[in-house]
């Protein structure tokens, strides 16, 4: 039996992003990072990275500064809450949508 | 736990074994637990998952958020399925792989307890991770055995749950398995180290019970998942511990709290709408239970 | 090698010769000696399999589902309430297209409690999507277990091998046990294309939506309904595979040729008794007696219940004047289950025999040959008076 035949016989899924679609569309608030307050950005050294550690969706990169994948970020705000230097603020998503238009 | 071996944020790998854009709720505690646990387990891992929030997080056919091989199984059978995976790995010469059951509190302590007890009694070479969000969250917040007393759920909507939280880790520890630990989504590095330790203790059954805050089910704003989880530990309500070959020890934040003040439990209850029906009587009862428990730790 | 052994041991040695890799079983009368023999084989080193003494039948099938998904040849066995306890897992195994083989030592179901033989346990599970094969003697049990693994792995559908509790499971008969080399020539190792494998990670048996959906490559992937239809189509297609495998078995072992039905004196029969399991051999005595008296009777044993070989059944029975279905189960609230299937198969025949329905032996009620004789005689002589309602043989009150 061919691979295609088997894959039509049962529900067998292949790994890939976006099973829930572009979950960034769920956002009501968007996290915005201010590099002037972000500890790794200010020091230029790997440090803190709380936002990366605590993100439930793994959309924050462990980079200097951290970046956020807005295609999938759900806007939960954990990164903002756990940032020790207040570098991340949650901003109304509606304001961005207008700008993007 | 040996301080020298603690993982830090800086040396924690940035390899992700979970794809983004999955269907977990915004702010989901399980998202943190799953992401972290899979980092500790690594690529050479096979998972068994029952119906639960994780099933949904992992994704609907034909897209998988998980980058590991996984078999979805019926609700009651997770530990038996993990047993079957391990048996096949031995039979086909792939015994080096981690075999991990990953289930919710219902699939572990209620409908799943028979299979889990059987697997523990047989000492099956599996790791069983229970993420405990304290209700049947996937089906809409119905009460489970691990729902705490007094909590409002959709099946305890007026009086709140009448019974205390089932102490599943103790039940499992009574089977005398090699490793039992508790962890929290709020302390992912502690969770990581415990999963890593469990993975290294190959040959017998290893069980980790992870407290997993749930914003929609517990009734708090999504940004407070970590804060809520930390407070549960700070009150001494949920304790981080390990039982290694029968020897008990508190770990991490819980170990640090011995002989120190704990946050009053009433503060914790205020943070979540599911506790809004709690009477002062229950609050006092809970505080007394916690105080007695901690007195016993230092006795 | 010629041996004299019980039906349960005939099954167990079949499992051993098939080089089964994972066995998970929970004891239940009258299956227990089968699982005991398998644990003896494993502990004694004769069978290098993993034997898991699970804590319930639901877990037994759970272990098999997982181990089969992980790429190991897997087996379990049960009876009656054990079969029913694993019911949701049976649906799961069929829907996940796993080549699990399970022996069922047929026993009646509670309530009320019974440990004795009838077919309600497996017959009540006919809609699952499993292949169901029924054995009439120990040689058939032994051979069918070996064939079952090949069939299951060819069509990716689990197979249930059924044989009468006590009447076959616990009685002793001579049968031929082939050499391991012969079985190896017939049954290659289990090598599935997809299995739990970190090198090619897949998530098995995920939630499906009502509608179809694109996969990560942009191709349309089937929905639940398409997947279920494929199970049904493949199960119907298994009819051809059963015949083919029976032929292959015959070439190596010298036994076979009657994959679907086992007829006795049916060539010129006006009336045919139709049944499953060891009962068909008992009815042969009645056939011989009635033939002596001049009535042209035959008996036909059905070996494949699901997929139902409707064409073979219709071809075998359509030319008769009457068919008397004897069965040890029924579809409560309607009629005998086998009876309904036979009638359905005959519905499209140009000329149809009458079909009568006799319920026998429930809960192990002794089936006396003279009662079967009376039943057949009554059926043949009072055709018009007996309608579709099940007739009961052997009631005492």
What are the tens digits of pLDDT across the range C111-125?
Answer: 999 999 999 999 999
CB contact under 8 A, B24 and A50: no
- Collapse the DSSP code of C299 into the 3-class scheme (helix H, G, I; strand E, B; otherwise coil) and give the result: strand
Q: How many beta carbons lie within 10 A of that of residue C29, not counting itself?
A: 17
CB contact under 8 A, B31 and A81: no
- Collapse the DSSP code of C200 into the 3-class scheme (helix H, G, I; strand E, B; otherwise coil) and give the result: coil
* C-beta of residue B62 within 8 angstroms of C-beta of residue A11: yes
User: C9-66 pLDDT, tens per residue?
Assistant: 999 999 999 999 999 999 999 999 999 999 999 999 999 999 999 999 999 999 999 9
CB contact under 8 A, B46 and C198: yes
Residues of chain A found within 8 Å of residue C217, distances taken between Cβ atoms: 14
Distance between CA atoms of residues C57 and C60, nearest Å: 5
Domains of chain C: 2-186 (3.40.50.970), 261-392 (3.40.50.920)
CB contact under 8 A, B10 and A46: yes
Question: C236: pLDDT confidence band, cut at 50, 70 and 90?
Answer: very high
- Collapse the DSSP code of B119 into the 3-class scheme (helix H, G, I; strand E, B; otherwise coil) and give the result: helix
CB contact under 8 A, A75 and B227: no
* pLDDT for the residue C387: 87
User: C369-386 pLDDT, tens per residue?
Assistant: 999 999 999 999 998 889
- Collapse the DSSP code of C373 into the 3-class scheme (helix H, G, I; strand E, B; otherwise coil) and give the result: helix
Q: Which of residues 24-43 of A touch B (CB under 8 A)?
A: 26
CB contact under 8 A, A14 and B63: yes
Distance between CA atoms of residues C172 and C396, nearest Å: 30
Residues 6+ apart with CB under 8 A from B268: B228, B231, B232, B234, B235, B237
Average model confidence (pLDDT) for chain C? Answer: 97
* C-beta of residue C357 within 8 angstroms of C-beta of residue C389: yes
Closest-approach residue (CA) in chain B for A73: B21
CB contact under 8 A, B65 and A17: yes
End-to-end CA distance of chain B: 21
Look up the CATH number of domain A27-100. 3.30.70.20
Give the nearest partner residue to B61 out of C60, C67, C206, using CB atoms.
C206
User: C145-196 pLDDT, tens per residue?
Assistant: 999 999 999 999 999 999 999 999 999 999 999 999 999 999 999 999 889 9
Residues of chain C found within 8 Å of residue A6, distances taken between Cβ atoms: 97, 156, 193-194
Closest-approach residue (CA) in chain C for A12: C204
Closest-approach residue (CA) in chain B for A80: B223
A22 and B CB contact within 8 Å: yes
Is residue A84 scored above 90 in pLDDT?
yes
Q: Could you please report the per-residue DSSP string of C62-103?
A: HHHHHHHHTT--EEEEE-HHHHHHTHHHHHHHHHTT---EEE
ipTM given for this complex: 0.95
Beta bridge pairs of residue C104: C78, C162
Backbone angles phi, psi at B208, to 5 degrees: -130, 125
Q: Which residues of chain B have pLDDT under 70?
A: 1-4
pTM: 0.96
Distance between CA atoms of residues C288 and B155, nearest Å: 66
Residues of chain C found within 8 Å of residue B74, distances taken between Cβ atoms: 62, 88-89, 92
Residue B272 sits in a domain whose CATH number is: 3.40.50.970
C391 and A CB contact within 8 Å: no
Question: A100: pLDDT confidence band, cut at 50, 70 and 90?
Answer: low
User: B173-208 pLDDT, tens per residue?
Assistant: 999 999 999 999 999 999 999 999 999 999 999 999
Q: Identify the residue whose tokens are 């603690």.
A: B6
pLDDT average, residue stretch A20-35: 96
CB contact under 8 A, A10 and C97: yes
C194 and A CB contact within 8 Å: yes
Q: Which of B91, B96, B100, B102 to mutate to test the interface with C (most CBs of C within 10 A)?
A: B91
Q: Which of A6, A9, A11, A15 to mutate to test the interface with B (most CBs of B within 10 A)?
A: A15
Q: Tell me the percentage of chain C whose pLDDT exceeds 70.
A: 100
CA distance C219 to chain B (A): 10
Residues 6+ apart with CB under 8 A from C339: C325, C327, C355, C356, C357, C390
Q: Does an H or E element contain C316, and which?
A: helix C310-317
For helices C57-69 and B113-122, the axis angle rounded to 10 degrees is 70
Question: A101: pLDDT confidence band, cut at 50, 70 and 90?
Answer: very low
CB contact under 8 A, C63 and B87: yes
Is residue A1 scored above 70 in pLDDT?
no
* pLDDT for the residue A3: 57
Domain count, chain B: 1
Q: Which of C65, C71, C203, C213 to mutate to test the interface with A (most CBs of A within 10 A)?
A: C203
Distance between CA atoms of residues B5 and B20, nearest Å: 30
A75: left (phi over 0), alpha (psi -120 to 50) or beta: left
């Amino acid at each position: 039996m061919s691979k295609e035949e088997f894959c039509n016989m049962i529900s067998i899924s292949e790994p890939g992003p976006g099973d829930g679609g572009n979950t960034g569309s769920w956002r009501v608030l968007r996290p915005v990072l201010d590099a002037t307050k972000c500890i790794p950005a200010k020091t230029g050294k790997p440090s803190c990275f709380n936002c990366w550690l605590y993100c439930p969706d793994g959309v924050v990169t462990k980079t200097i500064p951290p970046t956020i994948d807005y295609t999938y970020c759900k806007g939960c705000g954990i990164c903002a809450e756990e940032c020790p230097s207040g570098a991340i603020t949650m901003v109304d998503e509606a304001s961005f949508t207008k700008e993007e238009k | 736990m040996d301080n020298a071996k603690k993982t830090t944020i800086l040396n924690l790998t940035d390899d992700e074994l979970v794809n983004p854009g999955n269907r977990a709720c915004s702010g989901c505690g399980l998202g943190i637990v799953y992401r972290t646990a899979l980092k500790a387990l690594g690529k050479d891992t096979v998972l068994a998952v029952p119906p639960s929030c994780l099933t949904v997080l992992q994704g609907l056919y034909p897209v998988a958020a998980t980058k590991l091989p996984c078999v979805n199984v019926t609700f009651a059978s997770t530990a038996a399925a993990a047993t079957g995976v391990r048996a096949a790995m031995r039979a086909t010469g792939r015994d080096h792989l981690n075999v991990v059951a990953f289930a919710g509190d219902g699939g572990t302590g209620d409908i799943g307890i028979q299979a889990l007890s059987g697997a523990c009694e047989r000492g099956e070479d599996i790791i069983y991770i229970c993420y405990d969000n304290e209700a049947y969250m996937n089906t809409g917040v119905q009460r489970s055995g691990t729902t705490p007393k007094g909590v409002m759920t959709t099946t305890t909507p007026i009086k709140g749950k009448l019974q205390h939280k089932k102490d599943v880790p103790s039940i499992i520890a009574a089977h005398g398995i090699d490793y039992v630990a508790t962890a929290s989504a709020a302390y992912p590095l502690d969770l990581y180290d415990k999963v890593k330790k469990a993975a290294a203790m190959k040959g017998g059954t290893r069980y980790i019970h992870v407290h997993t805050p749930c914003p929609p089910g517990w009734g708090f704003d999504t940004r407070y998942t970590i804060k809520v989880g930390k407070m549960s530990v700070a009150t001494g309500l949920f304790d981080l511990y390990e039982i290694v070959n029968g020897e008990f020890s508190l770990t991490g934040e819980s170990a640090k709290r011995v002989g120190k003040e704990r946050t009053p439990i009433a503060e914790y209850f205020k943070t979540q709408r599911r506790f809004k029906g709690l009477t002062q009587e229950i609050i006092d009862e809970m505080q007394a239970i916690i105080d007695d428990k901690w007195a016993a730790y230092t006795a | 090698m010629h041996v004299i052994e019980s039906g349960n041991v005939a099954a167990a040695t079949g499992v051993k010769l098939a080089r089964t890799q994972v066995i998970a079983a929970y004891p239940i009368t009258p299956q227990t000696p089968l699982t005991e023999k398998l644990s003896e084989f494993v502990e004694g080193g004769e069978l290098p399999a993993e034997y898991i003494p699970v804590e319930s039948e639901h877990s037994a099938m759970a272990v098999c589902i997982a181990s089969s998904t992980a790429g190991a040849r897997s087996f379990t066995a049960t009876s009656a309430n054990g079969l029913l306890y694993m019911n949701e897992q049976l649906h799961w195994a069929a829907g996940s297209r796993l080549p699990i083989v399970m022996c069922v030592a047929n026993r009646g179901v509670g309530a009320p409690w019974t440990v004795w033989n009838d077919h309600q346990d497996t017959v009540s599970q006919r809609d699952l999507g499993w292949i169901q094969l029924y054995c009439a003697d120990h040689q058939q049990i032994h051979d069918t277990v070996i064939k079952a693994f090949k069939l299951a792995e060819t069509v990716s559908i689990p197979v249930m091998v059924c044989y009468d509790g006590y009447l076959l499971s616990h009685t002793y008969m001579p049968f031929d046990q082939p050499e391991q080399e012969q079985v190896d020539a017939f049954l290659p190792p289990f090598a599935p294309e997809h299995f739990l494998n970190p090198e090619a990670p897949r998530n098995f048996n995920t939630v499906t939506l009502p509608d179809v959906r694109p996969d990560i490559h942009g191709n349309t992937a089937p929905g639940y309904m398409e997947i279920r239809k494929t199970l049904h189509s493949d199960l119907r297609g298994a009819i051809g595979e059963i015949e083919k495998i029976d032929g292959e078995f015959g070439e190596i072992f010298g036994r076979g040729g009657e994959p679907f039905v086992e007829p006795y004196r049916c060539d010129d029969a006006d009336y045919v008794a139709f049944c499953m399991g060891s009962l068909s051999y008992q009815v042969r005595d009645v056939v011989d007696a009635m033939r002596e008296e001049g009535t042209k009777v035959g008996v036909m044993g059905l070996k494949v219940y699901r997929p139902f070989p409707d064409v073979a059944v219709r071809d075998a029975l359509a030319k008769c004047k009457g068919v008397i279905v004897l069965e040890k189960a029924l579809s409560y609230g309607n009629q005998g289950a086998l009876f309904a299937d036979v009638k359905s198969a005959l519905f499209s025949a140009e000329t149809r025999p009458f079909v009568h329905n006799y319920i026998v032996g429930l809960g192990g009620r002794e089936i006396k040959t003279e009662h079967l004789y009376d039943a057949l005689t009554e059926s043949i002589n009072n055709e018009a008076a007996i309608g579709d309602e099940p007739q009961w043989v052997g009631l005492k009150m």
